[in-house]
């Protein structure tokens, strides 16, 4: 203790009152030093994050923007850069959209089971299991997707092609490998599931007891109680959860690089090999190793597009979530 007392007056800035408080008790002055150290650390971390983000943005702009004029060879054989990046962007958004359509209801259901339906002991174990899904490396998801899921989905796709073929999404023909947009979306859904579930169940569990009891005392069933109190309370949180899941789905690389064939095209047909456009992230992973010269710029430009899209999605989401909070 004595050591800290002697050190502390020497620490503060000379201009501050530190010099005149040599005689203050040790609790006060060490507390002040602690405050400063902590304030410095947190401000420093905040600034660092902004610098890193700015650094990434500057790098992408500097390296990517020159590729705007690329065409032909340097745009991988396309007429202009947008003809190359556009389909990739489309593939990215489509895969993420499929993933969210599948993952959102599933995750909310699982989160409700954990927070409100299952007995506590089972719920805890079940929660751990879902969390474990997040710990699986994405390359493993990719291998599972290509060697197990895709093959097993082929009969399902065949059935869809036969019975739902009048919808443009399910026209077929179904490839024997099962490597389709739908498979990619499903793999992404499984990967996004633990994030969405974990956040949703935390918010669901925080719903005030008094409101839940109010609903139950009015004669609400458990589901009615959830609709009256849990969902309105958790709405903006659920939205943020879905956005974080969407963030993962948009940026996911390895699993998609393995599952989807590396083609660049626009198609809404979800269950053909020809209709499966790769995503920006997977395309960069597939091509960057062999790229040189202006092709590198093209790939970096596609990264810039992904960066902007992810940024925009997050901003939009935060704005909507904030609006929801004011209402609640």
List residues binding another protein (CB under 8 A): 119-120, 208, 210-221, 224, 228-229, 232-233, 327-328
Minimum CB–partner distance for residue 206 and another protein (Å): 13
Minimum CB–partner distance for residue 104 and another protein (Å): 21
Minimum CB–partner distance for residue 203 and another protein (Å): 14
Give the end-to-end CA distance of the chain in Å, rounded to a whole number.
Answer: 49
Helices (H) and strands (E) in the chain, counts: 13, 0
Nearer to another protein, 97 or 118 (CB): 118
**Residues linked to residue 78 through DSSP beta bridges, in sequence order:** 72
Nearer to another protein, 216 or 320 (CB): 216
Minimum CB–partner distance for residue 327 and another protein (Å): 7
Nearer to another protein, 162 or 213 (CB): 213
Minimum CB–partner distance for residue 228 and another protein (Å): 6
Minimum CB–partner distance for residue 320 and another protein (Å): 16
**Residues linked to residue 263 through DSSP beta bridges, in sequence order:** 277
Nearer to another protein, 160 or 225 (CB): 225
Nearer to another protein, 5 or 214 (CB): 214
Nearer to another protein, 79 or 224 (CB): 224
What the block records as the tokens of 197 is 């579930």
CB atoms within 10 A of CB 167: 12
Nearer to another protein, 36 or 222 (CB): 222
Minimum CB–partner distance for residue 202 and another protein (Å): 19
Residue 312 has, within 13 A of its CA and on its CB side, a CA count of: 7
By C-alpha distance, which of 114, 112, 120, 118 is closest to 223? Answer: 112
User: Is residue 173 reached through a cis peptide bond, with omega within 30 degrees of 0 on the bond before it?
Assistant: yes
Minimum CB–partner distance for residue 256 and another protein (Å): 38
Nearer to another protein, 170 or 233 (CB): 233
């Amino acid at each position: 203790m004595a050591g800290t007392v002697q050190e502390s007056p020497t620490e503060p800035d000379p201009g501050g009152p530190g010099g005149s408080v040599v005689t203050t008790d040790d609790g006060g002055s060490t507390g002040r030093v602690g405050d400063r150290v902590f304030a410095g650390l947190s401000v420093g971390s905040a600034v660092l994050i902004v610098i890193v983000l700015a650094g990434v943005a500057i790098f992408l702009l500097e390296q990517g923007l020159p590729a705007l004029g690329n065409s032909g060879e340097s745009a991988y054989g396309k007429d202009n850069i947008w003809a190359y990046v556009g389909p990739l962007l489309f593939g990215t958004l489509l895969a993420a959209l499929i993933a969210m359509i599948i993952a959102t209801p599933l995750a909310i259901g699982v989160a409700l089971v954990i927070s409100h339906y299952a007995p506590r002991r089972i719920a805890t174990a079940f929660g751990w299991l879902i969390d474990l899904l997040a710990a699986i490396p994405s390359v493993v998801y990719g291998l599972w997707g290509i060697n197990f899921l895709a093959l097993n989905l082929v009969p399902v796709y065949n059935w869809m092609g036969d019975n739902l073929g009048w919808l443009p999404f399910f026209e077929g023909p179904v490839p024997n490998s099962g490597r389709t947009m739908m498979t990619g979306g499903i793999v992404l859904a499984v990967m996004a599931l633990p994030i969405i579930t974990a956040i949703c169940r935390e918010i669901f569990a925080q719903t005030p007891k008094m409101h839940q009891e109010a609903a139950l005392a009015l004669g609400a069933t458990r589901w009615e109680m959830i609709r009256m109190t849990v969902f309105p309370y958790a709405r903006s949180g659920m939205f943020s959860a879905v956005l974080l899941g969407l963030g993962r789905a948009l940026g996911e690389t390895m699993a998609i690089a393995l599952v989807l064939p590396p083609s660049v095209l626009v198609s809404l047909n979800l269950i053909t090999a020809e209709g499966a456009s790769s995503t920006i992230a997977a395309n960069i992973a597939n091509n960057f190793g062999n790229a040189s010269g202006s092709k590198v710029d093209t790939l970096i430009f596609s990264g810039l597009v992904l960066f902007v899209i992810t940024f925009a999605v997050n901003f939009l989401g935060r704005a909507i979530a904030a609006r929801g909070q004011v209402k609640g």
